[in-house]
């Protein structure tokens, strides 16, 4: 079956760096998405990786290893507003998204 | 440009009642989706549409019906609500959808409670 695994909750300190891991098993693979979802709000797009390697976008970076079925989202210089859930989603061979349950990130001062 | 909007934002139903959730997008997207989000679970696809006049079943379609009479609107119906349908419902749209990898844009969600 298809599956996305990510930690349920993580805690980090303002100004620090945090890495949120995601492992995936999908029927075929057409890329991996990361979305951010603040409590009570809609998910919003953060990044998309389809090739191996690191993609940097400001304070956020996303990494993909297709051979390992693994991705991570790296958040630098953490700010209180980064407190949110981070959703990992794999795109299968039919271009349908398989969603993880999300990682709730708590930022402490 | 409002993006994706959903109506209503909140609703409480009694078991057996029916209702329709409305989703509208102004981005001229072909693909539209209805998801439900429950605590501790990933977003689950209920139904989706690849264009005006088309609908298809997703992962959890039972108890729901949909219609896409106009390109910009996607309606989700619950004919006889059950407590198991208590959830947050998100509508989303995308340009490419099943034709390729594309960002999905989400509406603000509808929080539905079935008593």
Q: Per-residue pLDDT tens for B99-111?
A: 778 899 999 999 9
What is the least distance, in Å, from the CA of A63 to any CA of chain B? 17
pLDDT, average across residues B75-104: 92
Given an 8 Å threshold on Cβ–Cβ distance, is B108 in contact with A42?
yes
pLDDT, average across residues B7-11: 97
CA distances from B77 to A41, B3, B17, B96, B108 (A): 22, 22, 11, 25, 18
Size of interface A-B (CB pairs under 8 A): 52
Q: Per-residue pLDDT tens for A39-51?
A: 999 999 999 999 9
Using a CB–CB cutoff of 8 Å, tell me whether A107 touches chain B: no
Residue B113 pLDDT grade (very low, low, confident, very high; cuts 50, 70, 90):
very high
**Partner residue opposite A4 with nearest CB, options B42, B101, B104:** B42
The DSSP-derived string for B69-112 is: SSTTEEEEEESS--GGG-EEEEEEEESSGGGS----EE---EEE
The DSSP-derived string for A17-72 is: -EEEEEEEE-SS---EEEEEE-TTS--EEEEEE-SSEEEEETTEEEEEETTTTEEE
Residue A34 tokens read as 């990361």
Chain B contact probe: residue of A97, A98, A102, A104 with most B CBs at under 10 A: A97
Distance between CA A56 and CA A106 in Å, rounded? 22
| Chain B residues closer than 8 Å to A99 by CB | 42-44
Q: Per-residue pLDDT tens for B34-55?
A: 999 999 888 999 999 999 999 9
What is the least distance, in Å, from the CA of B108 to any CA of chain A? 5
Q: What is residue A22's predicted lDDT score, i.e. its pLDDT? A: 98
Chain B contact probe: residue of A93, A95, A104 with most B CBs at under 10 A: A95
Q: Which 8-state DSSP code applies to residue B27? A: S
| Chain A residues closer than 8 Å to B60 by CB | none
Given an 8 Å threshold on Cβ–Cβ distance, is A4 in contact with B104?
no
What is chain B's Cα-based Rg? 13
Strand pairing class (A3-5; B56-57): unpaired
pLDDT over 70 percentage in chain A? 100
**Does residue A105 sit in helix, strand or coil?**
strand
Residue B98 pLDDT grade (very low, low, confident, very high; cuts 50, 70, 90):
confident
């Amino acid at each position: 079956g298809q599956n996305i695994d990510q930690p349920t909750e993580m805690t980090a300190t303002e100004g620090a760096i945090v890495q949120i891991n995601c492992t995936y098993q999908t029927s075929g693979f057409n890329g991996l998405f990361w979305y951010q979802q603040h409590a009570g709000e809609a998910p919003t797009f953060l990044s998309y990786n389809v090739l191996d390697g690191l993609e940097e976008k400001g304070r956020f970076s996303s990494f993909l290893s297709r051979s390992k079925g693994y991705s991570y989202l790296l958040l630098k210089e953490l700010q209180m507003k980064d407190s949110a859930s981070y959703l990992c989603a794999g795109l299968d061979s039919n271009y349908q998204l398989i969603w993880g349950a999300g990682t709730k990130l708590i930022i402490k001062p | 440009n409002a993006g994706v909007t959903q109506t209503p934002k909140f609703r409480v139903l009694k078991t057996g009642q029916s209702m329709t959730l409305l989703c509208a997008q102004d981005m001229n997207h072909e693909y539209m989706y209805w998801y439900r989000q429950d605590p501790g679970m990933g977003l689950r696809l209920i139904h989706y549409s690849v264009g005006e006049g088309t609908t298809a079943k997703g992962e959890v379609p039972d108890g729901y019906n949909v219609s896409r009479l106009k390109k910009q609107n996607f309606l989700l119906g619950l004919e006889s609500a059950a407590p198991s349908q208590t959830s947050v419902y998100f509508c989303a749209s995308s340009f490419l959808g099943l034709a390729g990898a594309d960002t999905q844009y989400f509406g603000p969600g509808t929080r539905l409670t079935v008593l």
